[in-house]
Amino acid sequence: MKKVILITGASSGMGKETAIHLIQQGHIVYAVARRIEQMQDLERLGGHPLKMDVTSETDIERVVDTIIKEQGRIDVLWNNAGYGLYGAVEDVSLEEARKQMEVNVFGIAAMVQKVVPYMRAAKSGTVINTSSMGGKMYFPMGAWYHASKHAVEGLSDCLRLELKPFNINVVVLEPGFIATEFGSVLLEGFSRISKNSAYRNMMDKIIEGTKKAAEGNGSSKPEVISKTISAIVNSRKPKTRYRVGKFAKPMVWMRVYLGDALFDKIVMSQM
């Protein structure tokens, strides 16, 4: 069945790869992001790229109104927009931290508030929220990113129960290491922090590990996400959570079953 799908953060990486995959399957895909110039190829394939910032309520209203006017419904909302802010809690400005939460958490809430009324009216729909394996565990230097993804987990669990009576599915995607722009964003964030930071040695270890992962076999290709999203979209009863990609399952397993002290020891052994 052809579905109307709205994907945020679709200008690159997981979002763009999946948009292409879903368009090729015959779905009606609205791909939104701030960088619309990077989505012209989606239009050539038959997609509908639109410029939108998830922190702008005006942008969100315009996009949702456009889709409803053109299609009359939204069957699937994939809240994929987000980024990683890295740096020690002592070093990262609260202004940057608030922006992280605004995009990764409040952006999802804003999309839900504008789209869900149409799903409720149709008594049908699926909301997919991109969390991370980082929503279940943690690494040093990632406090604000992990805090945002832990929040996505809690928000999604409550939302799932709230929307269950209306026949709307809420699914949490928990990717592991995926070959996207995430690593370059992380390194860019570190570059803005003083070379004299008290946490410099730890930061350098993480930089080294990130570069090795990018150069070697340390991450999965975005295709693993596109296949997973496709399975969710085409399922009548999708699972609550999908944990996919490099290290996602083993890292979360270690966090859950090894306990705090042992997990901390394993993480810090890499520092």
Q: Is 46 left (phi over 0), alpha (psi -120 to 50) or beta?
A: left
3-state class (DSSP) for residue 28: strand
Q: Single out the catalytic residue among 131, 219, 220, 226.
A: 131
Calculate what percentage of the chain has a pLDDT beyond 70: 93
269 is catalytic: no
More confident: 190 or 32: 32
Contact 73, 121 (CB under 8 A): no
Provide the number of structural domains found in the chain.
Answer: 1
pLDDT of residue 63: 98
pTM of the model: 0.92
- Sequence-ordered list of residues with C-beta below 8 angstroms from that of 160, at least 6 positions apart, any chain: 169, 170, 240
Query: Domain of 147?
Result: 4-268
Rounded to whole angstroms, the Cα distance separating 105 from 85 reads: 13
From residue 20, give the alpha-carbon distance in Å to each of 15, 156, 171, 209, 223.
9, 26, 21, 31, 10
Predicted confidence (pLDDT) per residue in 124-182, tens digit = 999 999 999 999 999 999 999 999 999 999 999 999 999 999 999 999 999 988 776 56
Is residue 131 part of the annotated active site? The answer reads: yes
Q: What is the pLDDT of residue 184?
A: 65
Check which CATH number belongs to the domain holding 135 and give it.
Answer: 3.40.50.720
**Could you confirm whether 132 is annotated as catalytic?**
no
What is the pLDDT averaged over residues 19-37?
Answer: 96
State residue 170 phi and psi, 5-degree precision. -125, 120
Q: Residue 183: pLDDT band by 50, 70, 90 thresholds? A: low
Confidence of residue 216 (pLDDT cuts 50, 70, 90): low
Q: What are the angstrom distances between the C-alpha of 140 and each of 109, 120, 135, 203, 266?
A: 27, 41, 14, 9, 12
Residue range 19-39: average pLDDT? 95
- 253 membership: H or E segment, kind and range: helix 248-268
Can you give 162-202 as a three-state secondary structure string?
A: HHHHHCEEEEEEEECEECCCHHHHHHHHHHCCCCCCCCHHH
The whole-number pLDDT of residue 181 equals 56
Please, what is the average pLDDT of the chain? 91
The pLDDT assigned to 245 comes to 87
Take residue 219 and report the two structure tokens written for it. Answer: 């991450």
Name the catalytic one among 145, 156, 226, 246.
Answer: 145
Whether 145 is catalytic: yes
Instruction: Decide which of 104 and 186 is more confident.
Output: 104
Q: Could you report how far apart the first and last alpha carbons of the chain are, in Å?
A: 49
Please say if the pLDDT value at position 108 is more than 70. yes
Q: How many CA atoms lie within 13 A of 123 on its CB side?
A: 1
Whether the predicted pLDDT of 267 surpasses 60:
yes
Per annotation, catalytic residue among 3, 114, 136, 149: 149
